[in-house]
Amino acid sequence: MSSPTLHRRAVLKTAFAKRGDALAVSGLGSATWDLASLGDRADNFYLWGAMGNAAMIGLGLAIAQPERRVVVVTGDGEMLMGLTAMTTIGARRPANLAICVLDNERYTETGRQPTATGMGTDLAAVAAACGFPKTALIRGEAEIGTLGALLFEAAGPIMAVVKVVDEDLPMAVPPRDGGYLKTRFRIGLLGETAATLP
Amino acid sequence: MSDQTIWGNDLYDTLVEEGVTLFSYVPDGGHKVMIQRSLDDPRVRSVPLTTEEEGVAMAAGAHLGGIKAVLLMQSSGAGNCINMLSLVANGQFPFVCFVTMRGTFGEENPWQVPMGLAVRPALESIGVVCLPVERPDEVAMTARAALAMAYKSRCGVAVLLSQKLIGAKAF
C-alpha cells in the first residue's frame, strides 16, 4: 500500500466547511487538537482522557438529539480501544451519527508506536461488518470532497476512515476543564436554565 | 431472596417517573424484569451494550444532549468501567448505575468472588458513591436518592443490589 499523502487538519477543515449546526465530540490526543485547530466552539466536546468511547458519547448525544447531526472525530488508537462500540452502534443504527477516524496508524502522543490499523485492521470494514450502512476508507485527494457530505449529510451511522500522514503538528489546546466543557456545551444546546438546573 | 417481579417493576416505574428515558445494559438475571420493561416501553430507549464502559460514555453523551440515562450491569461489569468513570469525575457528570452483585453473599462460583469484593472499593476509589440495597422495600427509595444525588450533587452513584435481595446463584 502506498504511503498516505493526506494531512489530517487540512482534510478536517475541508470536511467541516459543511458542519452547520452539527454537534462534535473529539477523541483524546491528536483528534482533540485537530478539532480545536478549526476554532474553539461551545458545541465541541473535547476528550482529554476516557480513551476508547468517544463514539459512545456520540451515540448518547445522537439518541438525545435525534434532530441534530452528531459527528465524532477520533484517532485510530482511540477507535481500536473501543471497537466494541461499533457493534453497539451498528445494532442501534442512529441515522444522525457519523464517526471520522483520522488514521495515521500510530499512537501519536506516546511516541508514534504502530497500531493495528497498519497491520491489517481495516476500521471501515469492521464498521461495515457491524451493520453501518455507509462506510468509507479515504486515501486520495480526489475523495476528500465527499467526506463533508458523508459526515454531515448522509444517513448514518457513518464510519469514514481517512488515512493520513504521520506528522508532527503543533498542539491546538482547547479548554481542559471537563465540567466547563460540559456546561458550556449544554448551555449552547439546551439554554442556560435547562443546562444549569437539574 | 425476594420476588423480582415486584421490586423490579417498582424500580422500573420509579426510574421512568423520575424522568429516565434511556436505559443501557449488559444483561444479568437480576435485571431481567427491568431490561424487558425497558425494551417493551415506547416511552424510553433501551440499548444493549457490548461492554459496560460503553454505558458510562453513552450516559455522559445523553446528559450533554439533555436526557437522563441509567446503566444496568452485573458486579463483574463494574471493573470494566473504571477508567471511563474518569469522564464522570472530570466532567462532574451525573451518572447512575444499578449493579446486581455476585461474589459477596452465598456465592457458589469462585470466579465471581474477586470482582464482587472489589466493586465497592474500586467504584469509590474513582469517585462513585455506592448505595447498597438489601431489602425490596428499599429499592425504589434508593433509586430516588441515587438520581437526586447524581443530578443535584453532580456525581456518579452506584446502587448495589445485594445477593440477599436478588438471591445467590449456584453457577
What residue ranges do the domains of chain B occupy? 4-166
* Set of cell numbers at residue B36: 424487558
Q: Does B51 touch chain A (CB under 8 A)?
A: yes
* Third-level CATH fold of A8-192: Rossmann fold (3.40.50)
- pLDDT reported for residue B15: 98
B41 CB-contact burial (10 Å; exposed 0-12 / middle 13-18 / buried 19+): middle
Question: Residues of chain B whose pLDDT is less than 50?
Answer: none
* Set of cell numbers at residue A106: 500510530
- Contact criterion met (CB below 8 Å) for B89 and B60: no
- Contact criterion met (CB below 8 Å) for A110 and A97: no
- pLDDT reported for residue A2: 74
Q: Does A58 touch chain B (CB under 8 A)?
A: yes
Q: Does B66 touch chain A (CB under 8 A)?
A: yes
CA distance A44 to A23: 6
Question: How far is the alpha carbon of A138 from chain B, nearest alpha carbon, in Å?
Answer: 27
A-B contacts at Cβ under 8 angstroms: 120
CA distance A43 to A61: 12
- pLDDT reported for residue B1: 60
Does the distance separating the beta carbons of A60 and B58 come in below 8 Å?
yes
* Third-level CATH fold of B4-166: Rossmann fold (3.40.50)
CA distance A124 to A100: 10
Q: Give Dmax over CA atoms of chain B in angstroms.
A: 42
pTM check: above 0.95? yes
A88, closest residue in chain B (CA to CA): B49
- pLDDT reported for residue A1: 61
CA distance B7 to B30: 11
Nearest to A83 by CA among A47, A48, A111, A121: A121
- Splitting chain A (198 residues) into consecutive groups of 10 residues, what average pLDDT does each group show? 89 97 97 97 97 98 98 98 98 98 94 95 98 97 93 97 95 94 98 88
CA distance B127 to B110: 28
Q: Does A181 touch chain B (CB under 8 A)?
A: yes
- What is the DSSP-derived secondary structure letter of residue A118? G
Q: Does A45 touch chain B (CB under 8 A)?
A: yes
Within 10 angstroms of residue B43's Cβ, the number of other Cβ atoms is 8
